[in-house]
Structure 1
Amino acid sequence: MRLMLVRHGETPSNVRHLLDSKPPGPPLTELGRRQAEALAERLADEPVAAVYASTAVRAQETADPVAKAHGLTVEVLDGVHEVQVGELEGRSDAEALGTFGGVFIRWTRGDLAAAMPGGETGEQIVERFFAAVSAIRAAHSTGLVVLVTHGGVIRLIAEMLADNVGAQLASAGLIPNTGHVLLQARDTDWHCVEWTGVEL
């Protein structure tokens, strides 16, 4: 089984560079909707077995065209929402973005006990996301499972899950709107096959 972690399409918050983490959050922009349709076209010939999305509106709207193209419905999944940034919510100033980046880098270097100010620790994110991935893996043994989620958590979880993703890639390998990270399930772990179009 392969698991494709897809970042949602563009939102108004993305345009304004806002830290926007609380579900349900804003819908897609017109460009975001076109990105979602283009994602469905890219995956039209893939053996998609299931399509999941986080509790955020933007993730569900991105997942919907993919699911429809394969005669599926979007399954909303708890635990795969974006990093909860607490006191940084709704901010786009340099101090807030710097604080976010600093905590995120600490996570990628192994300090998962670090927390966003008033928000989540890396440990909390990994615990909730791992539980969701375990449920997906238990439900699907073959095919491609598409999970539409969020850029920050994709990078962190890919590092924690995959045997070949290190701190440098996780901290610097930004995921564009509807970009993806592709993971291949192995007996007891995962291997990252592709990172935003680049084979690993």
Structure 2
Amino acid sequence: MRLLLIRHGQTTANVAYLLDTAVPGAELTDLGRRQAAALPEALADEDIEALYASTLIRTQHTAAPLAAARGLDVRVRDGIREFTAGDLEMLPGDTEPGHEYMRIVFAWAAGDTELRMPGGESGAEALARYDSVIAEAADSGARTVAMISHGAAIRMWTSARADNIDVDFAAARPLDNTGIVILDGSPADGWKALSWEGAVVETAAPDTDGGPTGQPLDEDQKP
């Protein structure tokens, strides 16, 4: 299965650099709506057969133009929502709370799945719910699937599950709004990342380390 993991368009919380993970979440900004409207053309060469979005409204609004252009229903699933910030919810993502959030998220990807977000979920719980939606899509028989999800969730799941992506790679490459990671594989056979925001994975150059809002992490905050 060809799997397109797409970050949602820009939101008001992104602009304010806030850790916004609870349902229903922030609305798209005007720029975010333009980013969503540009997705059908950006994905014109992809033969998408199934389209998913999370329970946060920003992903559903990002998916809407693509769904309309392709005549697809949006399959809303809680499993691919952003990882719950718990006690860190709505705190500044460009300061210590955001650094702590990303330290925990990438610790999960590195294998410490029993670690729990303060007041939130564990890595095992977060991966299990994300895996369940991926498995559903694979079982559907769709050859190409697009999922509108969230930056930290995409980066963590990909570094945990793709054979050719490690934590350092994902930590060094924050996703822009409507940035896309493309993978190929299946839950049974494993996954390989083909491209990361348009760059072939094997030749992609490191970017600045970033948190869930795209703000840089300090050198001593890297996972």
Q: Tell me the TM-score normalized by structure 1.
A: 0.94
Residue type matched to 1:169 in 2? F
**What is the CA deviation profile of residues 145-196 of structure 1, one whole-angstrom value per residue up to 9, with x for unaligned ones?**
1100000110111122211111111222211100011011256111110111
**Whole-angstrom distance in 1 between the partners of 2:180 and 2:79:** 18
Render the CA deviation track for 1:45-65: whole Å, top value 9, x for unaligned. 321111110011000000111
The amino acid of 1:87's aligned partner reads D
- Correspondence for 2:58: 58
Contact 2:88 2:97 in 1 (8 A): yes
Moved more, 81-90 or 153-162: 153-162
- Map Cα deviations across residues 25-82 of structure 1 (whole Å, 9 max, x no partner): 1211110000001112111232111111001100000011111111112111221110
Matched letter for residue 89 of structure 1 = E
Residue of structure 2 equivalent to 1:101: 102
What is the SS of the residue equivalent to 1:174?
coil
1:67 equivalent in structure 2: 67
How well do the aligned residues superpose, as a CA RMSD in angstroms?
Answer: 1.4
- Partners of 1:172 and 1:110 in 2: how far apart? 18
- Equivalent residues of 1:50, 1:67 under 8 A apart: no
Q: Aligned residue for 1:39?
A: 39
Give the equivalent residue in structure 2 for 1:122: 123
Determine what percentage of the aligned residue pairs are the same residue: 41
Distance in 1 (alpha carbons) for counterparts of 2:55 and 2:68: 18
Does structure 1 conserve the Cα–Cα contact (< 8 Å) formed by 2:106 and 2:156?
Answer: no
Aligned match of 2:211? none
CA 1:98–1:111: 2 relative to 1, 3 Å: same
SS in 2 for 1:79: helix
1:181 match: 181
The 1-side partners of 2:156 and 2:141 are apart by 23
Find the counterpart in structure 2 of residue 165 from structure 1: 165
Deviates more, 1:99-108 or 1:63-72: 99-108
Counterpart-to-counterpart distance in 1, 2:78 and 2:141: 17
Q: Which residue of 1 aligns with 2:193?
A: 192
Q: Which runs of 5+ in 1 are unaligned?
A: none
Q: Which runs of 4+ in 1 moved over 6 A?
A: none
Residue type matched to 2:106 in 1?
A: I
**What is the Cα deviation at residue 102 of structure 1?**
2.1
Task: State the distance in 1 between where 2:200 and 2:17 align.
Answer: 28
Find the counterpart in structure 2 of residue 20 from structure 1. 20
The offset of 1:95, in angstroms, is 2.3
* Residue pair 2:50, 2:142 contacting (<8 A) in 1 also: no
Letter aligned with residue 66 of structure 1:
L
CA distance in 2, matches of 1:43, 1:98: 32
- 5+ residue gaps, structure 2: 202-223
Q: How many residues align?
A: 199
Q: Which amino acid is 2:118 matched to?
A: P
Q: Which moved more, 1:175-184 or 1:164-173?
A: 164-173
8 Å contact from structure 1 (residues 53, 148) kept in 2: yes
Deviation at 1:109, TM superposition (A): 2.3
What is the deviation of 1:103? Answer: 1.4
Aligned-partner residue type, residue 132 of structure 2 = A
The reply to whether residue 91 of structure 1 matches residue 91 of structure 2 is yes
